[in-house]
Amino acid sequence: MASAPHTLASLPDISKNVATWVAEVAALTQPERVHWCDGSTAERDRLREDLVRRGELRPLNPETFPRCYLYRSDPADVARVEHLTFVCTQSQEDAGPNNNWLAPAAARAQMRELFRGCMRGRTLYVVPYCMGPLDSPYARCGVEITDSAYVVLNMGMMTRMGRAALERIALDGSFVRGLHSTGELDPARRFIMHYPEELAIESFGSGYGGNALLGKKCHALRIASFQARSEGWLAEHMLIAGLQNPAGETHYVAAAFPSSCGKTNLAMLIPPESLPGWKVFTIGDDIAWLQPGDDGRLWAINPEAGYFGVVPGTNRATNRNAFDMISHDAIFTNVALTADNEPWWEGRKKHVPVTDWRGRPYDAANGPAAHPNSRFTVAATQNPSYSTAAEDPHGVPISALIFGGRRRELAPLVYEARSWQHGVLVAASVASETTAAATGQVGVVRRDPMAMKPFTGYNFGDYFAHWLRMGQRLAHAPRIFHVNWFRQNAAGQYLWPGYGENLRVLHWMLERCAGRVGAQDGAIGLLPRPQDLNVTGVEIDPAVLAELTSVPASALQRELAEVRVYLQGFGARTPVALYEELDQIGRRLETQV
């Protein structure tokens, strides 16, 4: 660091545990210096300058993208690594077949050897952070120790980071311990370990967001989901948005889609001109912590303070809010560059790339100019549709929970679950085509219950049971819906225009919640009849609409059988109620055929 690091003594009287732990980690990792992050803008500016001097961060065009930077990761470190991510509970069954598992002692021993001396010549940063508004009873804190200044800068945008978080930790008396080192970025020496019973995370060998910004997926989903189960709440992979109708009523929805399936776009949706009077407010775009309130409703906070979003495809037409918010004070990771030193990505319409995401002269033969999982990091307050309700310590009340995936076939545009119990089955049955957000094959349909396959820190069977219990505690539970924006016809064309027009589907849901619109009772659930969806002002053939809202019986039959086999994979831990729901759909299907 160019200037004197903050010393422990200069910080408020913090919990001794943090200091003891930092000293232990420093003894193991042997850093050249230790820096306690205070979260100030002066600190951020210094870190940025250091990274620019070292050539790790590149300032972008100051006229068109003021205070924006490009970061290029190692080409072999561009996504979450699910195959190297472990949940280390005492009993393997508690982690469940949905997680890779190692016994905690074995994992700790293996990681200890990786961490030994790994920070020699480097700075150890102590990053105290709070997930959720600092004054929220639902917020939870952590401390990440990292040797990456890029991680510190990102954590500074994604969380409430620094001195204030440390003060809250002192009050709480407990915090999640996250230890991270980029190591040598060797994929053969890369592991992301979670010890939910000890509220601890160890991540080695990657600098990529989901593997390295430990407040996000590791803490706010894997560790938090485990904690939430014992404390009676839910930590979910969901956006939170407020929808104001032309009459001025605002309702909040939370929606779970797998990574790279449009959560950020939906959270920032801009109503089409043909739907005048509507407004959409963003509370969060990726994670929701949901608590039953004293009033019997479900309340949500967004534990994050920023967005770490997928860049490709972002433009004025697809997501104007995101496009505007990333034109200043943003970090871009693995995008391409134009001749004017502007960031470029597939779908950016304007300009052409001259340098690809790896820094090579752009050549289409090398594939996309920007990595398909290239990302932006920005503070949430930069979003034009940001709502200050995101700062409310008690969160916002949720009227509808929405689940969905990327499915070419079968899943209709939208349907409603008949009850909470049916809704849990619908959510547990979510399947989606894989995307570039995780290392591995793209486009393969896999089961992704509640869009939480990579993120639930315990056995899915227990998780489904927890969801069912939560419903019993809610006198005014949200209605549950399933959507699929990605249905295609036989020629591979999308049937639904998507983006802003998705508001029409949300409109139907809110009308359902208010009891103002009808539905038809299909085997799969409650489907809108053609007259129930507001399609004024959008060009859509009635035959296409009919196709979008119908479900081929034989395909549904196959799906039911597949879901049954999938649920059986969790053995006795799968709640019987889910099989009852499956049986009921099967019976309805028979009477309809």
Span from 24-32, 256-264, 296-304, 338-346 in contact with Mn ion (CB under 5 A): 256-264
Please report how close the Cβ of residue 512 comes to ligand OXD at its closest, in angstroms: 28
| Calpha distance 399→197 (Å, rounded) | 33
Q: Could you identify the residue written with the tokens 């982690």?
A: 95
- Per-residue tokens: 535: 């399609």
286 touches ligand OXD (CB under 6 A) = yes
Out of 286, 416, 448, 501, the only residue in the binding site for Mn ion (CB under 5 A) is 286
Please report how close the Cβ of residue 259 comes to ligand OXD at its closest, in angstroms: 3
Q: Is residue 312 a contact residue for ligand OXD (CB under 6 A)?
A: no
Identify the residue among 6, 48, 72, 80 touching ligand OXD (CB under 6 A).
80
| Minimum CB distance to ligand OXD smaller for 263 or for 573 | 263
CA distances from 438 to 61, 92, 378, 550 (A): 30, 24, 21, 32
CA dihedral 454, 182, 336, 486 (to 10 degrees): 0
Candidates 308, 460, 467, 508: give the one binding ligand OXD (CB under 6 A). Answer: 308
Phi-psi region at 277: left, alpha or beta (left = phi > 0; alpha = psi -120 to 50): left
Number of residues that bind ligand OXD (CB under 6 A): 7
- Which residue lies nearer to ligand OXD by CB, 334 or 355? 334
Angle at which helices 460-472 and 420-428 pack, to 10 degrees? 160
Work out how close the CB of 237 gets to Mn ion at its nearest, in angstroms, rounded to a whole number. 6
The angle subtended at Cα 417 by Cα 416 and Cα 421, nearest 5°, is 160
Amino acid at 422: H
Collapsed DSSP state (helix, strand, coil) of residue 445: strand
Give me the least distance between CB of 314 and Mn ion, in Å please.
16
The residue type found at 192 is I
Pick one of Mn ion, ligand OXD, none as the site partner of residue 461 (Cβ within 5 to 8 A by kind): none
Q: Which does residue 308 bind out of ligand OXD, Mn ion, none, counting CB within 5 to 8 angstroms by kind?
A: ligand OXD
Exactly one of 98, 259, 382, 484 binds Mn ion (CB under 5 A); which one?
259
Four-point Cα dihedral 322, 134, 258, 225, nearest 10 = 180
433 contacts Mn ion (rule: CB under 5 A): no
Looking at beta carbons only, is 285 or 581 nearer to Mn ion?
285
68 in catalytic set: no
> Among 88, 130, 261, 513, which one carries the catalytic annotation?
261
> By CB under 5 A, which span of 144-152, 186-194, 285-293, 581-589 interacts with Mn ion?
285-293
Minimum distance of Mn ion from residue 267's CB (angstroms): 11
Q: In the bound complex, what is the minimum distance in angstroms from residue 67's beta carbon to ligand OXD? A: 23
Q: What is the DSSP string of 372-424?
A: TT-EEEEEGGGSTTB-GGGG-TT-EEEEEEEEE---SSSS-SEEE-SSHHHHH
Find the shortest distance in angstroms from Cβ 151 to Mn ion: 17
Nearer to ligand OXD, 77 or 286 (CB): 286
CB of 237 to ligand OXD, least distance (A): 7
Residues 246-265 that bind ligand OXD (CB under 6 A): 259
Contact between 433 and ligand OXD (CB under 6 A)? no
DSSP string, 119-165: TTTSEEEEEEEEES-TT-TT-EEEEEEES-HHHHHHHHHHSEESHHH
Question: Which residue minimizes CB distance to ligand OXD?
Answer: 259
Compute the distance between CA of residue 211 and CA of residue 214 in angstroms, rounded to an integer: 7
Of 86-94, 142-150, 280-288, 482-490, which part binds Mn ion (CB under 5 A)? 280-288
Distance CA 567, CA 447 (A): 10
| Separation CA 591–CA 113 (nearest Å) | 62
Residue 484 and residue 451 in contact, taking contact as beta carbons nearer than 8 Å:
no
DSSP conformation class of 24 = H
State which residue, 269 or 524, has the beta carbon closest to ligand OXD. Answer: 269
Which x/- pattern over 523-562 shows residues binding Mn ion (rule: CB under 5 A)? ----------------------------------------
Q: What are the residues binding ligand OXD (CB under 6 A)?
A: 80, 209-210, 259, 286, 308, 437
Active site residues: 261
Q: What are the residues binding Mn ion (CB under 5 A)?
A: 259, 286
